[in-house]
Amino acid sequence: MDTTQRAEQERSADRRRRELLEAADRVVLRDGPGASMNAIAAEAGITKPILYRHFGDKGGLYAALAQRHTDALLGSLRAALDAPAERRERVEQTLDTYLAAIEARPQVYRFLMHPAEAGQQGDQGFDVGRHSAPLLRRMGEELGKVIEERLDLGPDTARLARVWGHGIVGMMHAAGDWWLGERPCSRAELVRSLADLLWGRLAAAGDRLGGPGF
């Protein structure tokens, strides 16, 4: 097989994988944590063994969907952080971007964070913590990099930025999970309350390059 044929096969495989992930997304939007490999295969018009050939098992499919949605969410969070606005407003926009994302697609969020119990709908259960923990860690690392790039926290900037990145992601996840389940207040009220919690040393930190900073 020459290089051109190999490249075409790879492009075809990538397209097919995207199509299968889009089919999985449709089922997850409909069924949430109960989405099964059987239902996803039926949605894609293939047999379950073919689905397994692409993703291995439900854990593999979960990881691929998590990557897809995390990439999109991180892009939105970075855009909110880089918006031309005062720091407090950008912090609130970033918090709101995360909460708006889980509110708009709660079934996807629940599939990623609250999977079906073992054996539901004929699928083998899997340890969501093994998959969701890396997802949250990746978000924490990415936010830490953004903070390090934009704030001057003194000689310990790199370490503090990572601590804050993981801490803020943990706060957003825990508060968002509670809020999505109970709806004790409006999204705007939750955003203001979380921003108030952050508005201590963060507000006083110096900007690295002058201007509006983080």
Rg (alpha carbons) of the chain, rounded to whole number: 20
What the chain holds in terms of domains, given with CATH numbers, is 3-207 (1.10.357.10)
pTM of the model: 0.79
- pLDDT (tens digit per residue) in 1-48: 677 777 777 788 788 889 999 999 999 999 888 888 899 999 999 999
pLDDT for 12: 82
- pLDDT (tens digit per residue) in 108-121: 888 888 765 444 44
Which DSSP category does 208 fall into?
S
Q: Backbone phi, then psi, for 152, in 5-degree steps?
A: -100, 105
